[in-house]
Amino acid sequence: MTSLHSQASRLTRFLMLSASGIALMASAQARAQTQMAPHAAQPALPHKAARPSVVSAAKSSATPAGRVAKAAVVPETLNVVANGRGSTRQLQAATRTMIANYVPGTSPLKILGQLPGVVFTSADPMGAYEWSARIYSRGFSENQLGFTLDGIPLGEQGYNTYNGLSSTRAVLTENLHDASISQGAGSVDVASTSGLGAAISFHTLDPSDKAGGLVEQTFGSNSAFRTFARVDSGILNATGTKFSASFADSTIDKWKGYGANKYQQVNFKLVQPIGTRSSLTAYFNWANRQEVDNQDLSLNYIHTLGTRVDNYYPNYKAAYLAAQGTYTHGENLTNDPMDVSYYESSGMRKDYFGYLTFKSDITSRLSVQASVYGDYDPGLSTFTSPYRSSPNGAPLQLQGYSLDVQRVGFLTSAKYHIAHNHLSAGIWYENNQFRNDLHLYQDPLLGQGLPPDPTTWLNPRDSFDHAYGYVFNTNTFQTYFQDTYDITSNLHVNAGFKSMLVTTHDGITGNDPSYTGYDTLPSGTKTAYSPFLPQVSANWRFTHNDELFFDFARNMRAFNQFGLSGGASASAWSVGDPAVFQQSMKLKPEESNVYEIGYRHDDRYLSALLTGYRVNFQNRQQVVSSGPIIQLVGALNNVGGVTTDGVEASLTLHPFVNNRFLQGVSWYNSVSWNRSTFDNNFTDSNGLERIKGKQVPNYPSFMWKSSLVYRYGNASANLDATYMSRRYLSYMNDAWAPSNFIMNLGARYRFGGYGILQHITLEFNVYNLLNKSYIATVGEQGNPISGDYQSMLIGAPRQFFGTVRAEF
């Protein structure tokens, strides 16, 4: 009863505080009735189904004060990076121009990785291999950032996501209008329960007013073959109805070992204007993805066996013998032969995601928006492990790790403008059910057949054991209120807050004590609650081309959800010991205070940005990993605080804007320095761990990025480069991935039309131009306290891709 009373009390306080913000808006609207006369001559806001040509990311991700200036200083055709001019926080966007420089199908997260302070890593050239894909911003990882698509929450972006789906599976790259990131902290209106740091927003293209379409074929290294097609209906009737439908089919072999990564995906978007002030937008996405994984490596494995060591698949005999202790590939020379002797591992995901959004400019001052959405994402990861045998005596065992996400939710918001105030408020609710199970399957005896293909969906009824099972049910309530006050035409101040209440309860659906080691698995309820998470920011434009901005935000992250073998997941439920579980349940949610101050300059010849920041991170929950990767032991610890200091600078030059032949030259450079260190030591089962003052693993302290673009007529070319300093693997900083320098090259030419086909384009891209051997992903299996660990993936060598594209 005490717990129920506490929950009710929290919810009551939460709703009262949230309602107060909305009440302020209502009060302001009432006062406005007496002030309408001076503004009566203002025309009604016209309905616009399509986004303006200037970068819309700043409009949708920033506060009202963060809107783009009325006239862009530099055309988007020259800018590869939008600088967020006018925003009260650091806000940058990858424009359509920048997206077009990458191979079709490239992950939008990889494209954002070219921005200052952002790290994206992947073992494949396009960033589409999800097991290896990791993104960081200012030391925060993908499960500590906020992600939205057209304002709809995507949840965390880790591989084993429990509350959403990855951006790669939510939208095809060709259908992106832009991708933006607020590197410090997102606005209070971002629908996310994980946004301790940056907010990343993706915006989809609206259907074209003109009927037509696009076909695209990509070829490349490792038998890459990707087909894309989009059809735009054009305006169909007097009401303005229009839609677009897209399909992509992609296959690319692994660059080492055997197997392929495949996906099919469909996007559909419908826009229906309602009168001149309102619109209804429907979006649907379906995706089917199959990945054969690479072997996770340690420094010892790399130094002993080289960078091309991989799982045995499809050589079942070699895997069978290795499980019996007979190694055929030199595995016995390593410090852990068995943990580099897996037959296969894979990941499969299916996604059904959609939303319906209504927008209306009720008056010239008041606009409203409401969205409902649904998301169903069944997933399965498989491993054939030498650590456990099958009932028939085979020394291998197939493990199927299933993750099923079902989400439904709604968002509603209102904006009201009066005098110098731009008021907005909104509510977000979501119910999420996440199922997490492990089923065990028998492998055949040698000579009596082969295990199922790694990309085969397994039926749990065919398993010989249900090792464990969890079901998590989470309810999320979030409200926000903010006001941007225009002190003068050049000085804007934004202040607001959000309130968050996230409650998760789990139930046990299966437990085999012979596998888990526990007669019963513990379960319980955890609540992350904060009624007041404030944000204050400002922008001062002191000349036509120069401005200063400042931002402070306090954020909270809800608790992670994963079952017993959550591995690298920082979840209270990932332990089986009841005593340890009770201690984990007492942990407070992670929180952060984010400060940044910066300067922007924009003119015809250059765009510049300089930002300094500090982050105070409290109650950091970290998993310390040990054991073989197939039976990863992840101990959840509160490692105390982390202090992050950093500086970022970027400069985009347009030096020849008055020269006919060279006006298409654009050169972008950025540098970033970051120091994220632990504030405290902590105690675990091994005693006191002295990590105070050590740098946070997986994130480099220094980066340099450059992109040189040249356009002339129908031709364009780009040369991109990224330098990344060492990244620590261990908490004690005694093992690390060396620095790396990677270059990419792209060129394209657009011809005229031929018959029904128009704007025929030929494109050529080279990834890893200098053919560097380097460690791409670090920490995908978590991080050890000290020393080496099998938690790294090698980046792909030089790869070539060609694309033929035509419009009709």
- Residue 264 CA to residue 249 CA, distance in Å, equals 5
The residue with tokens 């081309």 is 545
C-alpha of 212 from chain center: 31
CA dihedral sign, ordered 731, 734, 777, 99 = positive
- Report the distance separating Cα 97 and Cα 155, nearest Å: 27
Q: Which two tokens stand for residue 94?
A: 């990858």
Whose tokens are 């019996």? That residue is 324
Quick one: pLDDT at residue 12?
44
Buried/exposed code over 362-389 (b: 16+ C-beta within 10 A; e: otherwise):
ebebbbbbbbebebbbbbbbbbbbbbbb
What does the CA dihedral 764, 770, 772, 777 come to, rounded to 10 degrees?
A: -40
In order, the DSSP letters of 753-777 are -BTTBEEEEEEEEEESTT----EEE
603: phi then psi, degrees, rounded to nearest 5: -150, -170
Q: Which distant-in-sequence residues (6+ apart) come within 8 Å of 145 by Cβ?
A: 135, 137, 157, 192, 194, 195, 196, 197, 198, 199, 200
Residue whose pair of structure tokens reads 């209906």 in the numeric block: 233
Global pTM reads: 0.89
Contact 683, 692 (CB under 8 A): no
How far CA 768 is from CA of 13, 36, 448, 780, 797, in Å, comes to 54, 60, 43, 22, 6
Q: Are 95 and 56 in contact (CB under 8 A)?
A: no
Cis before 314 (ω within 30): yes
User: With contact defined as beta carbons under 8 Å apart, do 703 and 119 qualify?
Assistant: yes
> Which residues of the chain fall short of a pLDDT of 70?
1-80, 565-570, 623-636
* Distance (Å, whole) CA 530 – CA 521: 29
Name the DSSP letter for residue 130.
T
- 336-393 pLDDT, tens digit per residue, is 999 999 999 999 999 999 999 999 999 999 999 999 999 999 999 999 989 999 999 9
HEC profile of 539-556? EEECCCCEEEEEEEEEEE
Please say whether the beta carbons of 423 and 25 come within 8 A: yes
> Are 263 and 250 spatial neighbours (Cβ–Cβ below 8 Å)?
yes
* Secondary structure letter of residue 443 according to DSSP: P
Q: Give the per-residue SS3 of 49-117.
A: CCCCCCCCHHHHHCCHHHCCCCCCCCCCCCCCEECCCCCCCCCEEECHHHHCCCCCCCCHHHHHCCCCC
50: left (phi over 0), alpha (psi -120 to 50) or beta: beta
Asked whether 202 and 116 are in contact (CB, 8 A), the reply is no
> Closest Cα partner for 42 from 492, 491, 366, 425?
366
Are 331 and 341 in contact, with CB atoms under 8 Å apart?
yes
What is the spatial distance between Cα 27 and Cα 519, in angstroms, rounded to a whole number?
58
Element (H, E) at 579: helix 578-585
Backbone angles phi, psi at 168, to 5 degrees: -60, -35
Q: Is the dihedral of CA 186, 191, 194, 199 positive or negative?
A: negative
Query: CB within 8 A of 72, min separation 6: which ones?
Result: 54, 55, 85
Q: Locate all alpha helices (DSSP H) within 271-418, ordered by sequence.
A: 299-305, 316-323
Which residue reads 């051997």 in tokens?
773
Q: Which long-range contacts (CB under 8 A, 24 or more apart) does 574-579 make?
A: 574/623, 574/634, 574/636, 575/635, 575/636, 576/516, 576/517, 576/518, 576/521, 576/522, 577/518, 578/518, 578/522
Q: Would you list the DSSP string of 252-268?
A: EE-SSSS-EEEEEEEEE
Judge whether 545 and 602 are in contact, CB under 8 Å: yes
Sign of the dihedral defined by the CA atoms of residues 95, 101, 106, 107, in that order: negative
- The identity of residue 64, as a single letter, is P
List the Cα angle 610/611/617 in 5-degree steps.
Answer: 165
Q: Which residue has the tokens 């600078």?
A: 649
| Residue 328 tokens, joined | 């055929």
The candidate with the shortest Cα–Cα distance to 175, out of 152, 146, 208, 145, is 208
Sign of CA dihedral 177, 157, 786, 587: positive
CA nearest to 639, candidates 589, 669, 598, 679: 679
Contact at 8 Å (CB) between 195 and 557? yes
Order of strands across the sheet that contains 199-204:
81-82, 92-94, 176-182, 199-204, 146-149, 152-153
Q: Count each helix (H run) and each strand (E run) in the chain, helices first.
A: 9, 39
User: Is residue 215 classed as helix, strand or coil in its secondary structure?
Assistant: strand
Q: CA–CA separation, 310 vs 544, rounded Å? A: 57
CA distance 87 to 448: 65
Cβ contact 388:181 at 8 Å: no
Q: Residue 351 and residue 284: Cα distance in Å, rounded?
A: 10
What pLDDT shows up at residue 587? Answer: 85
Work out the number of other CB atoms within 10 angstroms of the CB of residue 772: 13
Sign of the CA dihedral 559, 612, 666, 742?
negative
- Say yes or no: domain 2-32+59-807 is CATH 2.40.170.20: yes
> In this predicted structure, what is the pLDDT of residue 639?
79
Half-sphere exposure of 643 (CA within 13 A, CB side): 7
